Amino acid sequence: MKLPIYLDYSATTPVDPRVADKMIPYLVEKFGNPASRSHSFGWEAEAAVEEARAQVAALVNADPKEIVWTSGATESNNLAIKGAASFYASTKGKHIITVKTEHKAVLDTVREMERQGFEATYLDVLENGLVDLDAFKAALGRIPCWPR
Amino acid sequence: MFRPIYLDHNATTPVDPAVLEAMLPWLGERWGNPSSRHEYGREARRAVDDARQRVAVAVGAHPTEIVFTSGGSEANNLFLKGAAASRRPGVIAIGACEHPSVRRAAAQLSGQGWRLQEIAVEPDGQFRSTAWKECLLARPTLISVMVANNETGVVQDIAALAAEAQSTSAWFHTDGVQALGKLPLDFRTLNRAGVHGMTVSGHKIGGPKGAAALVLDKRVELQPLVAGGGQERDLRSGTENVAAIVGLGLACERAVARIASEAVRLSELRERLERGLAHLGATVFGTASERLPNTSFFAFSGIDGETLVGKLDRAGYAVASGSACSSADPEPSHVLAAMGVSADLARGAVRVSFGRNNAAEEIDGLLSALGATVGSLRGLTAVAA
């Protein structure tokens, strides 16, 4: 048995060899910029991006139009929270609810929104780690006009 | 399969085979998260640090001044928005020919209390010193001016501009994406002249898409755009794209090492192209200025650029009309408009940008395809008239 055995798959995982095989051609011969509209290098890259969008959408049962690529999940969390909070601040109020057990990418983003004048509720969790639904409902009651 | 000859290297480039080889282990048997403390994580951390060192050496900076991002657009946004968030709103001054990632970021700030000022250029694509001095009189808080333009290739003397701007308290940013690997870029020299931040990216120089860097004077305190795990000195959270960062590091090192020889080879190719273009009656833009050796931006009057590049693609030559990022935009190039080119002529604009693998016979082939296409389009126009 070769040590160390990797037992940290929640931190990151090896790239599946089939995934690497699919990626490599797009580094080498299919290298176009998907924004290039005037030649086949660009079209081929755009087609690949759209194929991947359909694959991700299928996995999470979403419409491909609902997929926004980012550089990573930290950026996605930031985009969702900051983007929505700023966009709706004037119409839906400035109150953000999150849970104390969230990832740093969420908690730090909410802290930053607090510095920008938003109010935040950090819900406790029950002993089993799940959200206390009563506390969640109570917090929701303080958001005036969110559609329910 | 038939592959057209690729002449659009300012849009993106193929990954250099040596760069791919350096990246492959990080897509295979080495996959650690650089933030993990075990050996898998530590080896990934060493790879990121090694890439940081290579980028720093390539651009004349200290490794602690390199902030990795997902791309040049993000690095431009990080400097402008990050600086804006840590200073009181004032004037943000940008060149009239900047990349959309600078223009749009500045436009967003102008909706948040900032006054946006565009610095006009002359027909040669350069700022006249009176326009620059006038801009400085408005006491800008932020300035962003690119080293080399993505469409025309026109190069500005950033050190000289920054030196004049030192009389203000402005934070000075420069987008070096197109200049990297084509011109020597020395952040230390620029920094002494008054430049605080510089954007560089890998995929224009044989690196992969997905990794770029903001080179940043540490005295400048930016607010991060992305909060989270605190990677990149807390300026850019998110697990590092290790394979792409490794690729960026080696691509920078290799591109910078061959600047001198490539500059000579590429400018010979361009001279060959532009002699032929003159013969065909094209107008080449920005020729009165120093330009990137690999870039030629031109138009034939009365001939639509989109039509021309479409026909060239079918003839086997992949070139661009305007910049890739704005190709979906039917408006003629804002760069040419700023240089005083008429909208009619600007609609004809075609950009050819050479790279590593292009050779003289490909230029000759492009010229004969251009001659034939322009001839037949002119013939059609004559018949229609």
Question: What confidence score (pLDDT) does residue B331 get?
Answer: 81
A12-36 pLDDT per residue, tens: 999 999 999 999 999 999 999 999 9
Phi-psi map region of B233: left, alpha, beta (phi>0 left; psi -120 to 50 alpha)? left
Supply the pLDDT for residue B110. 96
Rounded to a whole number of angstroms, the distance from the CA of A1 to the nearest CA of chain B is: 16
Whether residues A77 and B241 touch (CB distance < 8 A) is answered with no
The pLDDT score that the predictor gives to residue A64 is 98
pTM: 0.95
B97 as an active site residue: the answer is no
- Nearest chain B residue to A105, by CA: B228
How high is the pLDDT of residue A3? 87
**What are the tens digits of pLDDT across the range B219-269?**
999 999 999 999 999 999 999 999 999 999 999 999 999 999 999 999 999
If you count them, how many residues does chain A have? 148
Six token digits for residue B168 = 């203000």
> pLDDT tens across A50-82, in order?
999 999 999 999 999 999 999 999 999 999 999
B17–A108: do the CB atoms touch at under 8 Å? Answer: no
| Phi and psi based region of residue B257 (left: phi greater than 0; alpha: psi -120 to 50; beta: remaining) | alpha
Extract the residue ranges of chain B whose pLDDT is less than 70: 1, 323-330, 381-385
Distances (CA, A) of B359 to A31, A45, B104, B265: 19, 25, 37, 9
Identify the helix (H) or strand (E) that includes residue B28.
Answer: none
Q: Is residue B100 less than 8 Å (CB to CB) from chain A? A: no
ipTM over 0.85: yes
Report, as an integer, the average pLDDT of A99-120: 96
Written as six digits, the tokens of B328 are 């979906």
Q: B360: which 2 tokens? A: 């003289």
Domain regions of chain B by residue span: 5-13+259-384, 17-257
Residue A43: pLDDT band with limits 50, 70, 90: very high
B17-257 CATH fold? Aspartate Aminotransferase; domain 2 (3.40.640)
Q: Which CATH fold topology does B5-13+259-384 show?
A: Aspartate Aminotransferase, domain 1 (3.90.1150)
DSSP assignments along B8-24, one per residue: BTTT--PPPHHHHHHHG
Q: Does B21 lie at the interface with A, CB-CB under 8 angstroms? A: no
| Alpha-carbon span B294 to B61, nearest angstrom | 25
Whether A146 shows a pLDDT value over 90: the answer reads no
Please, is B159 exposed, middle or buried when counting C-beta atoms within 10 Å of its C-beta (0-12, 13-18, 19+)?
middle
pLDDT in tens, B324-367: 444 555 688 999 999 999 999 999 999 999 999 999 999 999 99
- Residue among A27, A33, A38 minimizing CB distance to B15: A27
pLDDT band at A1 (very low <50, low <70, confident <90, very high): confident
- Over the stretch A121-143, which tens digit does the pLDDT of each residue have? 999 999 999 999 999 999 998 76
What was the pLDDT predicted at A141? 84
pLDDT of residue A145: 55
DSSP state for residue A93 in the 8-state scheme = -
Neighbours of A139 (CB within 10 A): 17
CA-nearest residue to B326 within chain A is A35
Q: Which residues contact B100 (CB under 8 A, 6 or more apart)?
A: B323, B325, B326
pLDDT of residue A130: 96
Helix (H, G, I), strand (E, B) or coil at B202: coil
Q: Is B315 on the interface with A (CB under 8 A)?
A: no
Confidence category of residue A120, pLDDT binned at 50, 70, 90: very high
Whether pLDDT at A144 is above 70: no
CA B20 to chain centroid, in Å, comes to 22
